[in-house]
Amino acid sequence: MIIKEFSPKDFDKLEPYWRELECGEEMTAFQTYDWYRMVNQNYLQSKMRYFFKAFYILVLDQDGTPVMIAPLMLQKIKFGNKFPKAIYFLGRETCTDYFSFIYKVCSIQAIDACFTYIKNTKKIRHFVLTRIREESTLYCALNSSYKCVETSGECVALYPPATFEELTASWKKNFRNNYRNVVNRMHTDGVQFNTFVLSKVSQKQYQDIMTLHQERKKNKQKAAKEKMSFLGRLYNRVIDFSSKPLPVLAEYPNLWIILTYHEERLIAFFYGPYEKDKKTVRLLFTGVSSNYYKYSIGINQLMFYLKESYDTLGHAEELCIDFTRGAEEYKSRIGGKLSHIFSLDFEVN
């Protein structure tokens, strides 16, 4: 098996290999060439990319045919027990919610060859491969071939039934009552929201989204800061300083965006990538202005999208709204189904 190594500066040369493999059945939007082109650009813009990290994108070729691409990153400096010096998937600090090697058919021979190459040429044996989907062949292959320490994470996806009535009928009584109360509160307060489903945004809309996103991120970090170690806080500061926001809205070709306005003000958004079949959306980022929490804008956005889908298609049972990481209660209360992702920590002998 032949292994070709590429650097981030040579990323464009990877396109013919990547396009051939990204159509594999287990691949998601996060494994496409277009997605990784953005991830790669994020690192190229990073002010300190080579101080803490090294990047290796490997193409494994069998008899003239590419069989696997391995986008990898070396964390050169240990940041506590949570971030050891090890090999990770490229893009760990970005909004990539599912990771995998890129392949049509998962080959343990290609995986072994990749790890042996890293061990022999980079002198690194420690691997921490995160956010691998439980149902993937890669997860099974790594677990069966290496002595892995697992850390699990929860994800939730909504698979709507045939009709909107069936969806609302599946809700628990208290959730239906809460949703009804929110609608009544909007009427009582005399507020009206305008919601739009888009595939791209203007520069002003992008800036409005980033402002709301940064507000939400700041509030979450403030709440988590007290529980975080000194090294964890230092690591987050380094990431914030050295990386720019991933320009998903500006560059990814298959986007799903919901914007909600009160008068002229953006008060909530959802966005993430569509899968190429347009039946599955991966919900990456959400943001709701704290002044509008009492109206459950996020739930209202989802209901708007689902109603529009039912009205347009006549059904929605082929759709999937994947909330990706996190199992917040509201996701299950609207009918979401739980799944798992795993981080696998292991050494190559």
CATH code, domain with 245: 3.40.630
How many Å apart are CA 109 and CA 85, to the nearest integer? 25
Q: Which domain holds residue 73?
A: 2-154+342-347
* 293-324 pLDDT tens trace: 999 988 888 888 888 888 776 666 678 999 99
Q: What are the backbone angles phi and psi of residue 57, rounded to the nearest 5°?
A: -115, 115
Residue 167 has pLDDT above 50, yes or no: yes
Q: What is the average pLDDT value for the chain, to the nearest integer?
A: 87
* 14-37 pLDDT tens trace: 999 999 999 999 999 999 999 999
Q: Are residues 97 and 197 in the same domain?
A: no
Least confident of 156-165, 188-197, 271-280, 308-317: 308-317
Q: 137-145 and 108-122 are packed helices; what angle lies between their axes, rounded to 10 degrees?
A: 60
Cβ neighbours for 120, distance < 8 A, ≥ 6 positions apart: none
Q: Are residues 102 and 178 in the same domain?
A: no
Domains held by the chain: number = 2
Q: Are residues 298 and 322 in the same domain?
A: yes
Name the band, by pLDDT with cuts 50, 70 and 90, for residue 241. Answer: very low
Name beta bridge partners: 89.
72
**Residue 190: other Cβ atoms inside 10 A:** 6
Residue 98 has pLDDT above 60, yes or no: yes
290-306 burial, b at 16+ Cβ within 10 Å, e below that, comes to eebeebbbbbbbbbbbb
- Average pLDDT in the 95-103 region? 96
pLDDT value at residue 173: 85
pLDDT value at residue 222: 59
To which H or E segment does residue 14 belong? Answer: none
pLDDT value at residue 172: 83
Name the band, by pLDDT with cuts 50, 70 and 90, for residue 250. Answer: low
Residue 190 has pLDDT above 70, yes or no: yes
125-159 burial, b at 16+ Cβ within 10 Å, e below that, comes to ebbbbbbbbeebbbbebbeeebebeeeebebbbbe
Least confident of 54-68, 79-93, 129-143: 79-93
Q: Are residues 263 and 301 in the same domain?
A: yes
Per DSSP bridges, beta strands 126-133 and 149-158 are unpaired
Q: Are residues 88 and 181 in the same domain?
A: no
Q: Are residues 168 and 90 in the same domain?
A: no
Q: Are residues 84 and 143 in the same domain?
A: yes
Contact between 182 and 339 (Cβ < 8 Å) = no
pLDDT value at residue 317: 63
Query: Does the CA dihedral 88-238-153-268 come out positive or negative?
Result: negative
Q: 173-189 and 297-313 are packed helices; what angle lies between their axes, rounded to 10 degrees?
A: 100
CA-based max dimension of the chain: 69
Q: Are residues 142 and 237 in the same domain?
A: no
Least confident of 185-194, 244-253, 339-348: 244-253
Report residue 251 CA to chain centroid gap: 16
- Average pLDDT in the 333-339 region? 92
pTM, full prediction: 0.88
For residue 75, the domain's CATH number is: 3.40.630.30
Residue 186 has pLDDT above 50, yes or no: yes
Q: Are residues 74 and 19 in the same domain?
A: yes
Residue of 126, 146, 32 whose CA lies nearest to 83 = 126
Residue 339 has pLDDT above 70, yes or no: yes
Q: Are residues 12 and 89 in the same domain?
A: yes
Q: Using alpha carbons only, what angle is made at residue 27 by residues 151 and 273, rounded to the nearest 5 degrees?
A: 90
Residue 230 has pLDDT above 70, yes or no: no
Q: Are residues 143 and 231 in the same domain?
A: no
Q: Are residues 79 and 183 in the same domain?
A: no
pLDDT value at residue 193: 93
* The two three-digit tokens of residue 163, written as one number: 């009709």
How many Å apart are CA 349 and CA 340, to the nearest integer? 28
Residue 223 has pLDDT above 90, yes or no: no
